[in-house]
Chain A
């Protein structure tokens, strides 16, 4: 976080224990499930139900080995599937959105505002409500229960297009585009070689948010997929918990799986901290 260049620096103000205390309490609340899952994943099945769960034990690697052994490493397949859905989906979605956003920001053409309005109407048509109709439609083409069924519907994101348009309008000077046109450059080349690099910082933000949205999505893959070899980790673990209800020994697997599944996104989040531009993602443009 960058401190503002205010005339009163933070250090000269008297610190308030109440203000700091409330923030720390909030942070603790957010950490409770994380601390719990770290501690619980070190316990054997019998310890889980008999000892105080926040005291760690020594069975972490056993639990991880058990998780890896579960149906020949099915869990790792789920992790790879999640990475594939989120990675490919986010890149494709960002590129499509960038292209559309750029055209909507930098071209004048008949029907432009109509196209934009229709796309924008899609912003709050909730993705989850579309999931069942998408299933019915894809079933007509026998595309359900394939990778495509989860990948394709998530490429179109009206919200990402909306953000890309804001970003293109701000980051790509019209003069530069005009100059390239006068030099006879093709429009696609102008976009790929000139506009895209200029939009890159904003696009990284869109990419990250799309990645998280796809990684966290549950309903679409839950509906589309029947074959557990194609599951992303969210659907896989949910199914595992379902089995755990009848065989509580599965709980250690679910807990270890939950811990492992959270690590990649938390790392992504911490490493790429400066790209989490929530202001941009929330559409908060300074008036």
Chain B
């Protein structure tokens, strides 16, 4: 409580130098030049207090992040063995399964779901980031009007849960209630069925785009705003057009923001679950294993095959973690390069 953190760093606790006015009393009691500082105010201020204050975060982290991850890894190497009819106690035992669950989990169904999600991501991420960049540049351009209105409205879908967004778009895809089909029918055009197995991935990508473009736009727009405007003035004086300024100066400046939003979006596409799950009642084109997480859900809750579900979760988590390390590299260098 009384000792402040000393600037001497981690080796400070080893020196016998008194650090506060109260300290000389301690040294007097302990005699001259003690080898080790006793556990007292110093230890308390240096270690117990910060860890005590970090305790809520650390405990919750261990309970709801670390423990579930470990538990999943353990489960992924286990298999339930049923003896006889599987009745009575002791009839079901868990045994070590080696990599059997992983082999079973990485079946054609899983690979197909990964393929679908990859296609979904390939459609969604470039479209979303491209449009977000375009809108951000237009918002930043001094030649645009109605920017306040557009920025607000394009960001608005962020406040709509994915489930509700899927619900709304699902109805807009449904020929019986959709105004689009009403119009195309009146005009005699044979509109393609979005809720068909061939096009549903575009329908889902559109829902993701609708929900995500505004958020990414604002992220990019904010990083544009951080640039001092005299750079643009100089470019204008040199005869650069607005489009040249946008392509040659603004796009390179927001590139780090693009990388970050790109990574976030990629990881989000790997985990798509709510949207296809919500759309399922409206179409036959979505199987229960359309996305990898839907397969995990089915294995765990419909088939009661925890080992396989756990193994699949581990695979998805490892891929996500590999991506997040790239992210960490970028972020830590930018934000905490000088601290510590």
Interface residues of A (CB under 8 A from B): 1, 4-10, 13-16, 19-20, 22-24, 26-27, 29-34, 36-37, 40, 48-49, 52-54, 96-97, 99-100, 102-104, 107-110, 112-113, 115, 118-126, 128-130, 132-137, 152-153, 155-156, 158, 161, 166, 169, 178, 181-182, 184, 186-188, 191, 212, 215-216, 218-219, 222-223, 234-235, 237-238, 241-242, 244-245, 251, 254-255, 258, 261-262, 265-266, 268-270, 273, 276, 278-279, 282-287
Chain B, residues 139-162, CB within 8 Å of chain A (1/0): the string is: 101111111111111111111111
Given contacts A14-B143, A284-B222, 14 further A-B pairs with CB under 8 A are A1-B147, A99-B56, A119-B57, A119-B61, A120-B328, A130-B64, A132-B296, A134-B64, A155-B64, A156-B57, A218-B163, A238-B278, A270-B152, A278-B215
**Shortest beta-carbon distance from B73 to chain A in Å:** 9
12 intermolecular pairs with C-beta atoms under 8 Å apart: A8-B142, A23-B138, A26-B135, A27-B154, A99-B54, A100-B57, A120-B332, A121-B324, A129-B293, A132-B296, A132-B300, A169-B339
Q: Can you name the residue of chain A whose Cβ is closest to the Cβ of B68? A: A133
Q: Which of A107, A191, A245 contacts B5 (CB 8 A)?
A: A107
Q: Can you name the residue of chain B whose Cβ is closest to the Cβ of A105? A: B339
Q: How far is the CA of A224 from the CA of B165 in the complex (A)?
A: 22
Q: How far is the CA of A258 from the CA of B225 in the complex (A)?
A: 35
Could you tell me if A103 and B50 are in contact, using CB atoms closer than 8 angstroms? yes
Contacts of A241 in B (CB 8 A): 167, 170, 278, 281-282
Chain B, residues 52-93, CB within 8 Å of chain A (1/0): the string is: 011011101101110111011001000000000000000000
Contacts of A27 in B (CB 8 A): 146, 149-150, 153-154
Contacts of B148 in A (CB 8 A): 1
Contacts of B334 in A (CB 8 A): 285, 287
Could you tell me if B270 and A126 are in contact, using CB atoms closer than 8 angstroms? yes
Contacts of B101 in A (CB 8 A): none
Could you tell me if B60 and A278 are in contact, using CB atoms closer than 8 angstroms? no
Contacts of A279 in B (CB 8 A): 219, 222-223, 226
Could you tell me if B159 and A262 are in contact, using CB atoms closer than 8 angstroms? yes
For the complex of A and B, the 4 pairs showing the least CB-CB separation, nearest first, are A124-B324, A133-B68, A100-B57, A156-B60
Could you tell me if B4 and A133 are in contact, using CB atoms closer than 8 angstroms? no
Known interface pairs A110-B46, A178-B4, A284-B219. Does A216 touch B161 (Cβ–Cβ under 8 Å)?
Answer: yes
Instruction: Count contacts between A and B, CB distance < 8 Å.
Output: 323
Could you tell me if A245 and B281 are in contact, using CB atoms closer than 8 angstroms? yes
Contacts of A8 in B (CB 8 A): 142, 229, 233, 236
Q: Which of B134, B168, B219 contacts A37 (CB 8 A)?
A: B168
**Shortest beta-carbon distance from B241 to chain A in Å:** 11
Could you tell me if A125 and B321 are in contact, using CB atoms closer than 8 angstroms? yes
Q: Is B127 an interface residue (CB 8 A)?
A: no
Known interface pairs A33-B172, A158-B61, A161-B57. Does A7 touch B215 (Cβ–Cβ under 8 Å)?
Answer: no
Q: Can you name the residue of chain A whose Cβ is closest to the Cβ of B334? A: A287
Known interface pairs A16-B143, A282-B260. Does A128 touch B160 (Cβ–Cβ under 8 Å)?
Answer: no
Could you tell me if B317 and A129 are in contact, using CB atoms closer than 8 angstroms? yes
Known interface pairs A126-B317, A258-B168. Does A52 touch B179 (Cβ–Cβ under 8 Å)?
Answer: yes
- Residue from A6, A124, A133 whose CB has the most chain B CB atoms within 10 Å: A133
Could you tell me if B320 and A7 are in contact, using CB atoms closer than 8 angstroms? no
Could you tell me if A99 and B53 are in contact, using CB atoms closer than 8 angstroms? yes
Interface residues of B in 230-276 (CB under 8 A from A): 230, 232-233, 236, 242, 257, 260-261, 267, 270-271, 273-274
Q: How far is the CA of A286 from the CA of B144 in the complex (A)?
A: 26
Contacts of B63 in A (CB 8 A): 152
Chain B, residues 103-140, CB within 8 Å of chain A (1/0): the string is: 00000000000000000000000000001001100110
**Shortest beta-carbon distance from A188 to chain B in Å:** 7
Contacts of A115 in B (CB 8 A): 54, 58
**Shortest beta-carbon distance from B213 to chain A in Å:** 8
Q: Can you name the residue of chain B whose Cβ is closest to the Cβ of A29? A: B210
Which candidate, B29-37, B191-199, B305-313, is the interface stretch facing chain A? B305-313
**Shortest beta-carbon distance from B318 to chain A in Å:** 10
Chain B, residues 1-29, CB within 8 Å of chain A (1/0): the string is: 11011000110000000000000000000
**Shortest beta-carbon distance from A82 to chain B in Å:** 9
Contacts of B267 in A (CB 8 A): 124, 126
Could you tell me if B67 and A137 are in contact, using CB atoms closer than 8 angstroms? yes
Could you tell me if A237 and B167 are in contact, using CB atoms closer than 8 angstroms? yes
Contacts of A186 in B (CB 8 A): 1
Could you tell me if B273 and A218 are in contact, using CB atoms closer than 8 angstroms? yes
Could you tell me if B281 and A242 are in contact, using CB atoms closer than 8 angstroms? yes
Contacts of A96 in B (CB 8 A): 56-57, 60
Q: Can you name the residue of chain A whose Cβ is closest to the Cβ of B330? A: A283
Contacts of A219 in B (CB 8 A): 273-274, 293
Known interface pairs A4-B225, A6-B229, A134-B64. Does A22 touch B278 (Cβ–Cβ under 8 Å)?
Answer: no
Could you tell me if B163 and A237 are in contact, using CB atoms closer than 8 angstroms? yes
Q: Is B189 an interface residue (CB 8 A)?
A: no
Known interface pairs A53-B182, A238-B278. Does A128 touch B219 (Cβ–Cβ under 8 Å)?
Answer: no
**Shortest beta-carbon distance from A140 to chain B in Å:** 9
Contacts of A33 in B (CB 8 A): 165, 168-169, 172, 210
Q: Is B187 an interface residue (CB 8 A)?
A: no
Could you tell me if A7 and B229 are in contact, using CB atoms closer than 8 angstroms? yes
Q: Is B327 an interface residue (CB 8 A)?
A: yes
Could you tell me if B71 and A49 are in contact, using CB atoms closer than 8 angstroms? no
Contacts of B96 in A (CB 8 A): none
Q: How far is the CA of A218 from the CA of B144 in the complex (A)?
A: 38
